[in-house]
Each structure stands twice: as C-alpha cells, then as structure tokens.
Structure 1
C-alpha cells in the first residue's frame, strides 16, 4: 500500500479545511446552540425526561450524529467531486496509487473533519446540559465508524454526481430526513407499536441507538445490531467504490 499517496491526499484535504476553519466551525456550533434553545428549552419544558434522562442531555447524541452524518457526506462528496469538476481527477487515476489509497485519503480526511466538529458540539453541549458518557471507548468507536461509513457514502455520491445540484440531492432529501426519523430527538420506544416497527426499518436508527447507548446505557435496538449495521454499510460502500474504479463508471466521462 502506498502510504505516501494516502498521506498526501489527506494533508491536501485537511489544509483546504483549515483555510476556512472558522466558517466550517461557526455554522455547526451556531446550529447546535439553536437546537438547544428550540428543542432543549421549548420542547424540554414539556418533555422533562426520556427514560429518566433529562431531555436536554438526551438529544446530545442525536445532535452529534446529525452533524456527523451531514458533514461526513458533504465533505466526502465534495472532496472527490471537485477534482472531477476541475478535470484534475485524471492526476489521481494515473498516479502510482490504487483505488484503496485514493479512497482512504479522501475518506479519512472527510471523517476527520466530521469528528472534529462532533467534538466541538459535545464541548458546546456542556454549556447547556450535564452529559455523562457511560462507555467512552464505544462512544469513540461508534463516532469513528459512523463518520467513516458516511464519508464512504459521500465519496460515492461525489463520484456519481454530474453537477452541484445532484451533489446536494442525497444529503438534503435522504440523509437528513432519515436522521430526523431515526430517533435523533426522541426514543423509538415513545412511538406506538406500529410506528416503532416502521422506525426500525430505518438504518440510521441503529447508528443513533448505538451511539446513545454509549452515553446513557440505553438503546432502542441491541448494540450488536448497531455494530452490524455500520459494518455492513462500510462493506457495501467499499464494494461499490471498488467496482466504480475497476469499471471507470462516471470517472472517464
């Protein structure tokens, strides 16, 4: 494996991020404050607790997952789409680096950006509520795995998209609704039995459930299923990316 190629792509993407770091940080932090004001204060005044957990603290994992999924997909897709748009992607295709190195460089950078912003949101939440992390190791594990999985998804979207409009379709029309319907701000156990069963068809529910378990030791689905879901997503995305690079689909147009 050409680790030099991975390091070069990763450093290039991270430098681009740090050139606009205040813009990249200000937006998610401001959004987090607004969520706490609206959901924590307004709705939290009506919903005092969820299964014994203060509602303001309960939504912290959901807010972090919302940001991680959005940022991972956005950064992963734009990172590879811009070389396609500018025509410089051919430099990656002819370089002495395989699809694994190219993918690892872009995806690891996208995941790193999302994880950094997630930690900023966690720090911001301490100013509003008291948050206790029951399983710190698993919190980090779910955070890293989820960011990596959705950065892979974003990478695929960037390869698939032919214009900036298509680049935004999946994050806005698919990912964000799935997060809101996946228990980011409520527990699936609060739903009627029929709708609880429907909610469990949403794959994002398993990611949020596992991440919330790492905070509060409570989950809507077994933790093992959450790990299986994120592992399956990573495997499927890697298979799809390998196929794209081997066939040249959307790469040589």
Structure 2
C-alpha cells in the first residue's frame, strides 16, 4: 500500500476545500440553518409533535442527511472529474499508484469533508431546536457509512460525467427530491397505504429513518434494515468501481 500517494491525493483535496471555504462549508451551513429557522422554529412551533418528538427536532436528522449526501456526492464527483477535465488524470494513472490507492485518497477526502459539514450542521441545529441523541455511536456509524457510500457514488458520477451539466445533474436534480420524499419533513405513517408502499422503494427513506432512530429511537423502518440497505448500496458502488478499474472505463480512453 503506497501511503505516501494516498496522503498526497488526500491532502491536495483537503487543501482544495480550504481554498473554496465559502462554497464548501459556509454555503451549505447557512442554507441548512435557514431550514431550521423556517421549518424548525417558525413552522415547527405551530405543529404537533411527531411520534412524541418536537417537529423541529424531528426534521433535524433528515436535514443533516440531505446536506451530507449532497456534499459527499459533489465532493466525490468533482475530485475525480477535474483531473479528467484538465488532463492531469493521465499523470496520476501513469504514476506507480494502484487504482485502490487513488480511490482511497479521493473518497477519503470527500468523506472527511462530508462528515465535517454534517457535524457542523449538527452543532448548529442545537441553537435552533431541542435536540437529543439517544445512540451517539450509532449516529456516527450511520453518518460514516452514508458519507463513504455517497462519496463512492460521487466518484462514479465524476468518472461517468462528460461535462459540468452531467456532473451537477445528480446532486441538484436527483438527490433533493429523493430526500424530501424520503421522510425528511414527515413520517410516512401519515401517507395513504399505497404511497407508503411506494416510499419503501426510495433508498433515501432508509438512510433518514435509520439516522433519525439514532437520535430519538423512532423510525419508519427498522434500524437493522436501514443498515442493511446502506451496506447493500456500499457493496454495489464498490462492485461497479471494481469493474471500472478492471476495464479503465472513461479513465484510459
């Protein structure tokens, strides 16, 4: 294992975050804080508790998950896309670095960025809503597995994307609707039976539900099923990337 190569890629990506601090950290934190102000404080004070949890606290795990997923996908995709765009990817591929080491460097940096932003937003939420964490260790496990999984998904998108439009399509047009329809602002128990069934085909439901369980001990889906779904998604991403590295898809051609 070439640790120096992994460290070089990792530190370079983290330095890129420092250079774009306003876009990388400040912007998502401010955006999520506005959600807490509008939905948590203003709207939440007029709504009944959901499953015994105040509405502001109830939506907090979903909002953290929304930002975490979006940031991990964006950081994971941009990290590998820009070397492709500038042509420096060929210098990396020609260096004595294994594909797994390249993956660990880029995905590790994207995961770190996502976790940092997620924890900052978690701390920010405490200023706006009543918050408790019943299972802090499991909360961190859910966050870490989600961050790694969607950083891998972002890496795949960065390899696949031909232009900036394709690069931004998934984090801007796919993830927010899935998250909003995945129980971020409500429990699926309030939906008619047909739409409850449809909601179970939304993978983000399992992420939000399991993450919420780690906070309040309430969820729409059993937490073990949520963990299994995250593990399945992680395995699919790793399997696809294994094929990409074997074939050189969109990397060597």
- TM-score, with structure 1 as normaliser: 0.97
Give distance in 2, aligned partners of 1:197 and 1:140.
Answer: 29
Partner of 1:217: 217
- Whether the 8 Å CA contact 2:5–2:97 is kept in 1: the answer is yes
Partner of 2:139: 139
Give distance in 1, aligned partners of 2:190 and 2:8.
Answer: 48
Partner of 1:203: 203
SS of equivalent residue, structure 1 residue 148? helix
Instruction: After TM superposition, give the deviation of residue 175 of structure 1 in Å.
Output: 1.4
Partner of 2:17: 17
Give distance in 2, aligned partners of 1:73 and 1:169.
Answer: 11
* Structure 1 gap segments, 5+ residues each: none
Partner of 2:127: 127
Moved more, 41-50 or 116-125: 41-50
Instruction: After TM superposition, give the deviation of residue 241 of structure 1 in Å.
Output: 1.0
How many residues of Structure 1 are paired with residues of Structure 2 in the alignment?
253
Task: Output one character per residue of 1:4-48: Cα deviation in whole Å (capped at 9) or x when no partner.
Answer: 221111111001111222442221121122101221234314422
SS of equivalent residue, structure 1 residue 50? coil
Partner of 2:178: 178
The answer to whether residue 92 in structure 2 is matched with residue 85 in structure 1 is: no
SS of equivalent residue, structure 2 residue 132? coil
Partner of 1:153: 153
Give distance in 2, aligned partners of 1:32 and 1:176.
Answer: 13
- TM-score, with structure 2 as normaliser: 0.97
Give distance in 2, aligned partners of 1:42 and 1:126.
Answer: 15
- Whether the 8 Å CA contact 2:13–2:79 is kept in 1: the answer is yes
Give distance in 1, aligned partners of 2:210 and 2:43.
Answer: 24
The answer to whether residue 107 in structure 2 is matched with residue 107 in structure 1 is: yes
Partner of 1:28: 28
Q: How does 1:156-167 map to 2 (within 5 A)?
A: 156-167=156-167
Instruction: After TM superposition, give the deviation of residue 103 of structure 1 in Å.
Output: 0.7
4+ aligned runs moved over 6 Å, structure 1:
none
Give distance in 2, aligned partners of 1:204 and 1:16.
Answer: 29
Task: Output one character per residue of 1:165-186: Cα deviation in whole Å (capped at 9) or x when no partner.
Answer: 1101111221111111111111
The answer to whether residue 56 in structure 2 is matched with residue 56 in structure 1 is: yes
* Structure 2 gap segments, 5+ residues each: none
Moved more, 157-166 or 24-33: 24-33
Instruction: After TM superposition, give the deviation of residue 91 of structure 1 in Å.
Output: 1.5
Instruction: After TM superposition, give the deviation of residue 55 of structure 1 in Å.
Output: 0.4
Moved more, 200-209 or 28-37: 28-37
Give distance in 1, aligned partners of 2:23 and 2:249.
Answer: 34
Task: Output one character per residue of 1:124-148: Cα deviation in whole Å (capped at 9) or x when no partner.
Answer: 1111112110000000000000000
TM-align CA RMSD: 1.2
